[in-house]
Amino acid sequence: MRRHAMMKHTIVLAAIGGLLALLGAPRHVEAAGFANTLQSGTSTGMGGVGVANLGEGNISYYNPSLMPYQEDYRIYAGPMLIMPRTDYESFDGRIQNDTKKSLFPPPNLHAHYAFTDDLSVGIGFTVPYGLGIEWPDEWVGRENVQFQQLQTYDINPNVAYRVPDTGLSFAVGGQAVLSNLELRRRIILREDREIQFRAGGTGVGFGATAAVSYRPLDNVTLGLNYRSAAKINYSGQARFDNEGDTAFEETFVDNDISTSLTLPHFMTLGVGWRPLDALLLELDAQYTTWSTYDEVVLDFEQNKPSDTSTIVNNWRDAWALRFGAEYEVIPRLPVRLGVAYDASPIPDETVNASLPGNNRIAGSIGVGYTIAGFRADIGYQLLQALERDITNGRAPDGNYQTRAHLLGINVGYGY
């Protein structure tokens, strides 16, 4: 019985730990780790830049201190359509699996109102972190993970003030983050008998935001945007299906579980330059403190060999560089191009099939149009993660490769 209890504990530990230790599957792959940094059709077409773009639609997310430069009131909303795929091939080439086709449409919204020429308030809604991956039923690694999904919903109110005659503006705000997660995996007892393991939970966390912009010249904008860490406390359940009439029936006991996840701090510095009235060039550098994601502590409420267990992740901080260009070919009709590079924060020792992530490169294109106060933007990005070999025992040994097509579509009013 003690052996059976330890087996059950190991199963729950691996399952829930996999869910929280690798929150970055291909359905959300705009940035390394599990961050979603594409939050508008404008930014998507420009490689993900936006912190120094006075014309960015979703400035709640990219740099709310720019709100005083967008007068009166504005609203901007739309989805980001994400179509990912991960391929697996064993080192001997005999086994190949691909994730199931999927489409995930996380929304984004920005709205603000100018009380005066220098004072504005706004609110943003985004899904800044997330994942979603589903391997086929015959996936060789279904004991590690078969389905996994994380969603975070961020409500972000801001207030911004521009200091007259200085070129400086500032913004501060808060974050309320609602989150849910789900995991499914298989426990293979023998060739003709598998048990389905399911786990899920919900949580909430809070954080802050701050931003500053400076315009030393009319055609140059410097921007700095900071979004704080937010600790999310989850509670949920772990469940077993099809465990009846087996020698391990008493081992696979449903259990209440709880844990926490700390979303990282991130800071973005950008410079925007207009060498011509119709041309904008922007370069952004982003730093994310993924090292806050060093371990996950799991609490088991009943039928457990110990009160807590720990999953070690040891992620490291990472940089990302992005460059974008916008050219207005005719009045109110800009076209956009961009490139990006994101360094992976995941070390070889802890990478697995939930997020076989690696350094990522991306290219993008987009277009916008404004008429009678209405604005529409569409941007497309192709993202490619470099191949990654996994040999650490946390997933089937082999080569993993991830790519994604991303389409940002936004409409707005007040432009």
E strand intervals along 45-106: 73-89, 96-98
**397-413 burial, b if ≥16 CB within 10 A, otherwise e?**
ebbbbbbbebbbbbebe
**DSSP bridge pairs for 183:** 148, 199
pLDDT for the residue numbered 334: 98
| Model confidence band, residue 19 (pLDDT cutoffs 50, 70, 90) | very low
The larger pLDDT score, comparing residue 241 to residue 316, is at 316
Q: State the Cα–Cα distance between residues 142 and 33, nearest whole angstrom.
A: 22
pLDDT surpasses 80 at 298: no
Full set of structural domains in the chain with CATH: 2-413 (2.40.160.60)
> Distance of alpha carbon 412 from its chain centroid, rounded?
24
**296-314 burial, b if ≥16 CB within 10 A, otherwise e?**
bebebeeebeeeebebebe
| Model confidence band, residue 2 (pLDDT cutoffs 50, 70, 90) | very low
pLDDT in tens, 56-85: 999 999 999 999 998 789 999 999 999 999
pLDDT surpasses 50 at 25: no
Q: What percent of the chain shows pLDDT beyond 70?
A: 88
pLDDT for the residue numbered 414: 94
DSSP3 helix / strand / coil % (the chain, rounded to 5): 10, 55, 35
pTM for the whole structure: 0.89
pLDDT for the residue numbered 139: 87
pLDDT in tens, 91-106: 999 999 999 888 889 9
pLDDT surpasses 70 at 11: no
**Mean pLDDT, the chain, integer:** 87
The larger pLDDT score, comparing residue 245 to residue 286, is at 286
Pull the structure tokens for residue 110: 């920005």
pLDDT for the residue numbered 248: 58
pLDDT in tens, 336-358: 999 999 999 988 888 877 777 78
Q: Which of 80, 95, 94 is closest to 37 using CA atoms?
A: 80
